[in-house]
Chains A and B, each alone.
Chain A
């Protein structure tokens, strides 16, 4: 065990290792490496105890279908997810001091989580996902839908997939719901996330896809209101021509970003996540848009009133 790093060096092709072969420098290097490794794992343990003392227990109880080779059919890897959860839980607990209300309303089995989208960067998705991992009993794995272009980005695509995120196409949703999983959808899409501050917390147009999916698969819908996200990056304007030029969905002007480095971080606003009562709808999934729109309107107005109530109840941006 002690000589492992030096042996690894010997194996290198360039013969640098020969210098260290069974000599004192090799031993010293080995010891330093060992100590650093120990210190790192110790630090991680301390961090884990501070943030989620019951992480191992929750990971064990998290329902997933990872098989013999450590991943499920969509590529979710509990080992990678565990590390991601640790980091995300720190952000959830200490940066945003997030509070989840009514997590118990999320029914077991298949469910569509429908939420408002806000804050220029999709941190709201992470907050909802972590809320259901930390506060739900038993913990739940939330599948958020990612964009097609995210699949073309190196490292990002791999990381998202290992954490359980899937490409947002109806086929994938259907399969996940058949497996009794929880799917998070932001029906506002990019329109919602790039809202400027003057239209904060005013829901934009909802897509209809989620309702057709819910009708087809007989899935209950849980409306979710996220309050706090709009102020993490305050956008004063959206420069549409520039966005078009750069091929981006929006080009928000965020004054706080003028401050170097620190400005890149989101403001440590307090997040409140409200889970509503599950709603079930019946009808023909292939009905005309106008019929589906009526049902979507019910969900949308529920979320809007939940947001309004949340805004009234909150005492300030940061507490």
Chain B
């Protein structure tokens, strides 16, 4: 946290001239969005788009409480002074209705791209996820950015996310003068309420008997640091973001002193489907593939091109799920 904060402040001093440049952050009211705002608002003038309210926002942040799908969104861009868009407003909630989620994620993002195009926004940063590659038994140990996005093969709910990633990719050639950055972080841990953090926060953690895949995790503040770095002029491309290293799932649970309950895979996938339908669990059955097969990525490009390095060690990163 401290290291990350220091770097932004330094960045802020260097770009004093750019202080006025406007950065639009979608999904600003999420836990990650708030952290991004806290990092950015001293160096840039930040405007947020989110349908949720943002009561604890810093004074110099303007918040537009609108649905990303609404035409009113265009007004944010109308002055033509937006220097960058950070797109965090992706709905991950697997409980949301398919239609709502799909229109929000895909239609909403397509509209956003339209405004970017129309008002010549020079920078777009999209927070995708390493989950788009999907956990599969045939995965190489470390997937590069060129690997196909197969996450939707067994988990249709994730297809939106893949489509968002693909839309952003198509924007590379649709608008080559815009610097598009797609970030694909591994499992983000911290105060965020995503599936991996929720999983590690459980009293007792279900695991699959006979499976103990290697996993990669990253601290939420390291992701924020990478987003700030991605805003540097001249940076473009797709980057996998990896944290402090790889660890077998069982060791990660040992570090957190979590008792694990190994359950047979064939039984759990069947039972989980029922539980999901009866709303007795927060984890859809296909997510169990993440604790069964490897889905690890090669983060070399982010280290070399983006100059990104995680500030948090593995132990810190894992323990961050407890500071809610």
User: Please, how many angstroms separate the alpha-carbon atoms of A77 and B209 in the complex?
Assistant: 19
Q: Given the known A-B contacts A157-B211, A158-B212, are A74 and B247 also in contact in the complex, defined by CB atoms under 8 Å? A: no
**In the complex, which residues of chain A have a beta carbon less than 8 angstroms from the beta carbon of B21?**
none
**Binary interface encoding of chain B residues 115-156 relative to chain A, with 1 for a CB under 8 A from any of its CBs, else 0:** 000000000000000000000011111111000000000000
**In the complex, which residues of chain B have a beta carbon less than 8 angstroms from the beta carbon of A148?**
137-138
With beta carbons under 8 angstroms apart, the residue of A74, A151, A155, A169 that contacts B293 is A151
Asked if B248 and A151 sit within 8 Å, CB to CB, the answer is no
**Binary interface encoding of chain B residues 244-284 relative to chain A, with 1 for a CB under 8 A from any of its CBs, else 0:** 01111001000000000000110000000000000000000
Asked if A166 and B210 sit within 8 Å, CB to CB, the answer is no
Q: Given the known A-B contacts A69-B247, A70-B251, A75-B248, are A171 and B210 also in contact in the complex, defined by CB atoms under 8 Å? A: no
Interface size class of B (residues with CB under 8 A): 20 to 34
User: Please, how many angstroms separate the alpha-carbon atoms of A129 and B143 in the complex?
Assistant: 27
**In the complex, which residues of chain B have a beta carbon less than 8 angstroms from the beta carbon of A77?**
248
**In the complex, which residues of chain A have a beta carbon less than 8 angstroms from the beta carbon of B141?**
73-74, 166-167, 171-172, 175
Please, which residue of chain B has its CB at the minimum distance from the CB of A149? B137
User: Please, how many angstroms separate the alpha-carbon atoms of A54 and B312 in the complex?
Assistant: 40
Complex interface residues of chain A between 131 and 185 (CB less than 8 A to chain B) = 148-149, 151-158, 161, 166-167, 169-172, 175
**In the complex, which residues of chain A have a beta carbon less than 8 angstroms from the beta carbon of B182?**
none
Asked if B245 and A154 sit within 8 Å, CB to CB, the answer is no
Q: How many residues does chain A have at the interface if contact means C-beta atoms less than 8 Å apart?
A: 27
Q: Given the known A-B contacts A152-B137, A171-B142, A175-B141, are A158 and B251 also in contact in the complex, defined by CB atoms under 8 Å? A: no
- Whole-angstrom distance from the CB of B22 to the nearest CB of chain A? 41
**In the complex, which residues of chain B have a beta carbon less than 8 angstroms from the beta carbon of A171?**
140-144
**In the complex, which residues of chain B have a beta carbon less than 8 angstroms from the beta carbon of A157?**
137, 210-211
Determine if B208 is an interface residue (Cβ-Cβ < 8 Å).
yes
- Whole-angstrom distance from the CB of B37 to the nearest CB of chain A? 34
Determine if A71 is an interface residue (Cβ-Cβ < 8 Å).
yes
User: Please, how many angstroms separate the alpha-carbon atoms of A67 and B246 in the complex?
Assistant: 10
Determine if B86 is an interface residue (Cβ-Cβ < 8 Å).
no
Please, which residue of chain A has its CB at the minimum distance from the CB of B140? A171
**In the complex, which residues of chain A have a beta carbon less than 8 angstroms from the beta carbon of B209?**
154-155
**In the complex, which residues of chain A have a beta carbon less than 8 angstroms from the beta carbon of B248?**
69, 71, 75, 77
Determine if B214 is an interface residue (Cβ-Cβ < 8 Å).
yes
**In the complex, which residues of chain A have a beta carbon less than 8 angstroms from the beta carbon of B211?**
154, 157-158
Asked if B138 and A151 sit within 8 Å, CB to CB, the answer is yes
- Whole-angstrom distance from the CB of A177 to the nearest CB of chain B? 13
- Whole-angstrom distance from the CB of A70 to the nearest CB of chain B? 7
**In the complex, which residues of chain A have a beta carbon less than 8 angstroms from the beta carbon of B265?**
154
Complex interface residues of chain A between 36 and 73 (CB less than 8 A to chain B) = 67-71, 73
**In the complex, which residues of chain B have a beta carbon less than 8 angstroms from the beta carbon of A167?**
137-141
**In the complex, which residues of chain B have a beta carbon less than 8 angstroms from the beta carbon of A169?**
138, 140
- Whole-angstrom distance from the CB of A83 to the nearest CB of chain B? 16
Determine if B181 is an interface residue (Cβ-Cβ < 8 Å).
no
User: Please, how many angstroms separate the alpha-carbon atoms of A1 and B265 in the complex?
Assistant: 37
**In the complex, which residues of chain A have a beta carbon less than 8 angstroms from the beta carbon of B245?**
67, 69, 73
Asked if A73 and B144 sit within 8 Å, CB to CB, the answer is no
Asked if B214 and A155 sit within 8 Å, CB to CB, the answer is no
Determine if B314 is an interface residue (Cβ-Cβ < 8 Å).
yes
- Whole-angstrom distance from the CB of B197 to the nearest CB of chain A? 20
- Whole-angstrom distance from the CB of B312 to the nearest CB of chain A? 14
Asked if A154 and B208 sit within 8 Å, CB to CB, the answer is yes
- Whole-angstrom distance from the CB of A319 to the nearest CB of chain B? 40
- Whole-angstrom distance from the CB of A134 to the nearest CB of chain B? 27
- Whole-angstrom distance from the CB of A224 to the nearest CB of chain B? 25
Please, which residue of chain A has its CB at the minimum distance from the CB of B147? A171
**In the complex, which residues of chain B have a beta carbon less than 8 angstroms from the beta carbon of A172?**
140-141
**In the complex, which residues of chain A have a beta carbon less than 8 angstroms from the beta carbon of B212?**
158
Asked if A154 and B138 sit within 8 Å, CB to CB, the answer is no
Asked if A151 and B142 sit within 8 Å, CB to CB, the answer is no
**In the complex, which residues of chain B have a beta carbon less than 8 angstroms from the beta carbon of A151?**
137-138, 293
Q: Residue among B245, B248, B264 with the most chain A CB within 10 A?
A: B248
With beta carbons under 8 angstroms apart, the residue of A69, A155, A156, A161 that contacts B251 is A69
User: Please, how many angstroms separate the alpha-carbon atoms of A154 and B267 in the complex?
Assistant: 13
Please, which residue of chain A has its CB at the minimum distance from the CB of B262? A154
**In the complex, which residues of chain B have a beta carbon less than 8 angstroms from the beta carbon of A154?**
208-211, 264-265
- Whole-angstrom distance from the CB of B145 to the nearest CB of chain A? 13
**In the complex, which residues of chain A have a beta carbon less than 8 angstroms from the beta carbon of B213?**
75
User: Please, how many angstroms separate the alpha-carbon atoms of A155 and B141 in the complex?
Assistant: 18
**In the complex, which residues of chain B have a beta carbon less than 8 angstroms from the beta carbon of A175?**
141-142
User: Please, how many angstroms separate the alpha-carbon atoms of A161 and B208 in the complex?
Assistant: 16
Q: Given the known A-B contacts A148-B137, A151-B138, A169-B138, are A71 and B214 also in contact in the complex, defined by CB atoms under 8 Å? A: yes
Lowest 6 A-B CB distances belong to which pairs? A154-B210, A171-B140, A155-B210, A151-B137, A148-B138, A169-B140
- Kindly list 11 other residue pairs between chains A and B, CB separation below 8 angstroms, not including A73-B245, A152-B137, A167-B139: A69-B314, A77-B248, A148-B137, A149-B137, A154-B209, A154-B210, A158-B212, A169-B138, A171-B141, A171-B142, A172-B141
Q: Report B's interface with A, CB cutoff 8 A.
A: 137-144, 208-214, 245-248, 251, 264-265, 293, 314
Could you pull out 21 A-B pairs where Cβ atoms are within 8 angstroms? A68-B314, A71-B214, A71-B251, A73-B246, A75-B214, A151-B137, A152-B137, A154-B208, A154-B209, A156-B210, A158-B210, A158-B211, A158-B212, A166-B141, A167-B138, A167-B140, A171-B141, A171-B142, A171-B143, A172-B141, A175-B141
